[in-house]
Structure 1
Amino acid sequence: MSDRDQLLHLADRARRGVLLPDEGALLADAVTATLDRLDRLRRSRDLWADHTARLTERADTAEAALAALHEGEEPRLDERIVPTPAQWIWLWNRATPAKRAEVAGMVLDASARVDRCILANHEPAIERWRDRAQRAEVIIARVRDLHTRVLRMEALVCACCGHTWPCPTARALDEQQPTTTEAGPTCICGDPIQLRDAIDPSSWIHSPGSDTPCFNARPQQQPTA
C-alpha cells in the first residue's frame, strides 16, 4: 500500500471513529509530513516567483537598452551611396569589435590631423594656394592662346615666337622635354643639328633623320672648342 493509500485509509477510519491509538499516531505523522512538504513547495514556489520576476525585469531592461541603442538609426540598403549619419549608426551597431576598433582609429587619426591643420592655420594657406593656382591656370591659358601653330613657308611654326612647332614654350606647357643626342648639339627647335661645313661655324643644318623643317637652324648653345 502506498503512502497516499495508507493516508486515505487512516482518514477514513478516523471519520468512522474506529481509529486505533497506533493508527492515530501514524495519521498524525502523515499529516505533519504532508504539511511539511506543502510548506517546502510553497517556499520553493515563492523563490521561483521571485526569480522569475527578477529575470523578467532584467529582460525588460535589456530590451529597453537595445531599443535605445537602435534609436535614430536607418538601414543602409545601397553600399554605393555615402551613408547618412543615421545609416552610419546602423552600420556601427552591426560591426564586429575589430571593425569598430579600426574605424575608431581612423576617426581619431582624422581628428588629430584636423587639430594640427587648425593649429598650423592651414585653411588660409590653402586658400592662397588655390588663388595662385587659379591665376596660374588663367596665365597658362593665355600663353597657350599666344603660342599656337601656324603654317609659314610650308613649315609649321609658332605664331608667337616663330620657332618650329612645337616651340619650347609649347613643349614646356605640355611637359615635353626636347630630344637631345649625345653625338652633337640641338637646335633651338629641339631637333639635332650638325655643321654642313666643319670649317664654317655658321653652316648649321638639321641632322639626317630630323622630320622638322627649319630655315634658320642654329644651336641652342655653341659648342666650345
Structure 2
Amino acid sequence: MSDRHTADTITDDALDALYEQLEAAEESEAQQQLATAREAFAAATTRAARAEAALDRVRALHPQEGDYCAICTTDYGRLSAPWPCPTIRALDGEQPAPAPAATDATDDACCGKPPGAVCVHDVATPGQRITREQLDALRNANTPPGTVITADAVNAATDQP
C-alpha cells in the first residue's frame, strides 16, 4: 500500500506538514534564484566597470587640442581631425554619416568641396603633412573663389619652410 494520502485519508496534521514542506521548497528555490540573480548582477557590474574603464582609456588617447583631436587625422594623414573626432563621436553614441551615393558627386574634381573652396590638395601633395598653422591659414584665407593656394604660398604666409 502507498504512503500517498487521498482527500479522504489525510489528517489535518499531515496536511499542515505538507504545506510546511511546500513552503520550505519554495523558500529554497527562491533563495537559489536570488543567489543566481546576485551573481549575475555582480558579473554585469564588473563588466560595466571594465567597459567604462576601457572607454576612459580610449578617450584619454584622443585628447582635444584646441579645435582638433591631437591624434586623429583626415585626408590620409595630412590634416588633423576636427574636435570631436570620429572616435569620440562614436563613443558618445553618434552614428556615422552614411557614405554619399554616387549620384551625390559634385562638380569639384578634388574632394567634393563646393566650387571655389580651398582644398588641402591645393597646398600639399599626397603623403605630405601640413601644419596646423598652414591649415589655419587655409581656413582664414580671404581668397576669391577659384583661387589656387599653393604650398609655397601657405608656407610664405605662415613663415614655414
Structure with the higher helix share, 1 or 2: 1
Q: TM-score, normalised by structure 1?
A: 0.30
Decide which structure has the larger Cα Rg and report it. 1
Query: Relative contact order, CA 8 A, sep 6+: which one is greater?
Result: 2
